[in-house]
Amino acid sequence: MKNLLVTGYRAHELNIFNQKHQGIPYIMKALENKLVPLVEEGLEWIITPGQYGVDLWAVEVAIQLKSTYPHLKCSILTAFQSQEENWKEDKQEYFRELLRGVDYYAPVSKQPYAGPWQFTARDELLLRKTDGILLVYDEDAGEGSPKFILERALKKQQQDGYEVIRISSEDIQSVADEEALGMDTFMDEMP
């Protein structure tokens, strides 16, 4: 696999409303845990739609991984021009900061938001340009926006072997439990 689409929940779908939320590091670690083996097996590009949530946390992880894996590249392909302009200022600044670390950025539609067709066009391009998807989504936890890309990815998987990799809420909880266990061990070893 050379090109991987990474996406998932929007932050508000996880009840995350700022970058200080305690759950973000666990989500990022779960992403890293799935990405590192893929990068070591030859993954070259991590591509996201750049929505605020899993998409941007994946970009942050990719940028961090580039120091260890300099061949790795990261791209954001948004649905339309200036998608972030209606975001709160802190989220806009976070987005602009991440843009400085990506290798490629472009809106699929060169105009501002004009309709849902822009998301469809973006998703079609992302699925066409990638060999697989890493999706943070848990159907058992309830439906969310990732449902639609998952349906299309599963159809593509049946048609031509597109790889579908998932991160569930259990995977993220496992990371949190490991981190807590590590902290407990650290605290036990202190004098």
CA distances from 90 to 38, 57, 73, 101 (A): 32, 15, 25, 17
Q: What is the pTM of this model?
A: 0.93
| Closest to 1 (Cα-Cα) out of 45, 61, 66, 47 | 45
**For the segment 83-121, what is each residue's pLDDT rounded down to a tens digit?**
999 999 999 999 999 999 999 999 999 999 999 999 999
Q: Quick one: which H or E segment has residue 5?
A: strand 3-8
Interval 29-58 mean pLDDT: 98
